[in-house]
């Protein structure tokens, strides 16, 4: 019998059941008589019919069990009936009966086994159901405890997350405020940058303009220095010339005074001899002292007159040149005044300041030289 319940007849099974069939057939006298004694010809048909019916009944019972395929057994039975001996036919019938009994017994055992298996299955199912219920109960308890723990964790996490969210909201507000301040500061810096660019552009323009003015002022300063050097050389030359003229004039006056004194001495000696020693001597002393002071005043007046008369011609020649220089100095003075207003700017550099200070000093020196020259000219005019 296989797992599906079908029974297959093997040679081992046939040999074992043939012995059983012989024992069973031996217990029955009719079967023994049928096997050992030949039957008469008159009863052959009826016996064959009975055997056929018995065989069909056995095969029907086998088919009713459903354990063995009856088609092969029927072919086997027909072949044995055609070709086999009566002994073989009897053994086959006995075998089939034993097979039916064995199949019934096996079916009963199978039913008992199925009932046992079913009972065990029911018991196992009940146990599994109880175990499932217990497990389900345990799982539900565990689930409830886990749910309570998870709910507690969730509430704790929720509260912490809410506090963290509130803290993050505050941080976001602070960051947003800082961002607004940064944007405002950035806009202010951009405005300052634009204003600084404009100032830088203006400063560059002012720088170029100042550089051009500085170059002009340097040229002007150079011209002023040349003029100052020229005036200084002229003044030195004039001083030397006046000093040499005065020296020669003083020398001539001193020589003339000495000649006059010698003449006075001669006259004194002559008058002393004529009028007397004492009176003449006193008179000579008085007259000598008077003549001495008059000679000094006369020599001084001659000195000044000679100086001014000699300087008159020179001043007349220099007045024209001085007037021309005064015109040029006036123009330079106006340029120096413009440079003084330029130096008051707050954008000047140290080098530019130094150059402009030098120009201012030159302008002041020119002003003083011009004033001195004007005083000399006016004094000369008053004397002349």
Q: What is the pLDDT of residues 3-17, one digit of tens each?
A: 444 444 454 444 444
Beta carbons of 138 and 146 less than 8 angstroms apart: no
Check pLDDT > 70 for residue 1. Answer: no
Picking from 176, 13, 174, 178, the residue whose alpha carbon sits closest to that of residue 102 is 13
Q: CA–CA separation, 245 vs 315, rounded Å?
A: 14
The answer to whether 77 touches 59, Cβ cutoff 8 Å, is yes
Range with lowest mean pLDDT among 206-215, 251-260, 364-373: 364-373
pLDDT at 44: 61
What pLDDT digit, counting tens, does each position of 129-154 carry?
A: 888 899 889 888 988 998 899 889 88
- Calculate what percentage of the chain has a pLDDT beyond 70: 46
To the nearest whole number, what is the mean pLDDT of the chain? 68
The whole-number pLDDT of residue 109 equals 85
Q: Once rounded to an integer, what is the mean pLDDT over residues 247-270?
A: 72
Separation between Cα atoms, residue 290 and residue 264, nearest integer Å: 12
Instruction: Please say if the pLDDT value at position 276 is more than 70.
Output: no
**CA 384 – CA 302 distance, rounded (Å):** 14
What percentage of the chain has pLDDT greater than the value 90?
A: 8
* pTM for the whole structure: 0.27
Are 21 and 94 in contact by the 8 Å Cβ rule? The answer is yes
Asked whether the predicted pLDDT for residue 84 surpasses 70, the reply is: no
Higher pLDDT: 303 or 44? It is 44
Confidence grade of residue 225 (pLDDT, cut at 50, 70, 90):
confident
User: What are the Cα distances from residue 8, in Å, to 3, 293, 326, 368?
Assistant: 12, 193, 158, 157
Residues 6+ apart with CB under 8 A from 307: 242, 245, 246, 249
């Amino acid at each position: 019998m296989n797992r599906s319940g079908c029974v297959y007849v093997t040679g081992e099974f046939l040999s074992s059941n043939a012995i059983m069939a012989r024992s069973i057939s031996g217990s029955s006298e009719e079967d023994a008589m049928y096997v050992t004694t030949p039957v008469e010809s008159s009863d052959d048909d009826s016996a064959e019919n009975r055997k056929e019916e018995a065989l069909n009944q056995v095969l029907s019972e086998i088919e009713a069990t459903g354990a063995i395929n009856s088609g092969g057994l029927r072919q086997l039975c027909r072949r044995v009936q055609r070709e086999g001996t009566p002994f073989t036919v009897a053994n086959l019938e006995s075998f089939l009966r034993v097979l039916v009994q064995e199949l019934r017994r096996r079916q009963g055992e199978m039913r008992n086994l199925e009932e046992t298996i079913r009972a065990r299955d029911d018991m196992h199912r009940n146990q599994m159901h109880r175990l499932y219920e217990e497990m389900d109960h345990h799982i539900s308890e565990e689930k409830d405890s886990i749910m309570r723990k998870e709910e507690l964790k969730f509430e704790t996490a929720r509260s912490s997350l809410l506090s963290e969210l509130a803290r993050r909201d505050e941080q976001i507000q602070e960051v947003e405020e800082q961002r607004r301040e940064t944007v405002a500061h950035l806009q202010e810096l951009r405005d300052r940058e634009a204003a600084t660019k404009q100032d830088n552009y203006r400063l560059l323009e002012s720088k170029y303009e100042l550089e051009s003015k500085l170059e002009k002022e340097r040229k002007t300063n150079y011209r002023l220095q040349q003029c100052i050097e020229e005036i200084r050389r002229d003044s030195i030359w004039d001083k030397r010339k006046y000093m040499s003229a005065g020296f020669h004039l003083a020398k001539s006056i001193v020589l003339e005074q000495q000649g006059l004194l010698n003449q006075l001495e001669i006259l004194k000696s002559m008058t002393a001899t004529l009028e007397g020693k004492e009176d003449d001597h006193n008179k000579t002393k008085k007259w000598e002292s008077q003549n001495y002071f008059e000679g000094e005043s006369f020599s001084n007046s001659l000195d000044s007159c000679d100086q001014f008369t000699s300087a008159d011609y020179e001043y007349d020649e220099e007045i024209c040149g001085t007037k021309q220089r005064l015109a040029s100095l006036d123009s330079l003075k106006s340029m120096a005044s413009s440079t003084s207003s330029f130096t008051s700017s707050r954008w000047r550099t140290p080098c530019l300041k130094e150059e402009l200070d030098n120009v201012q000093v030159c302008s002041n020196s020119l002003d003083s030289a011009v004033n001195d020259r004007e005083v000399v000219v006016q004094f000369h005019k008053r004397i002349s």
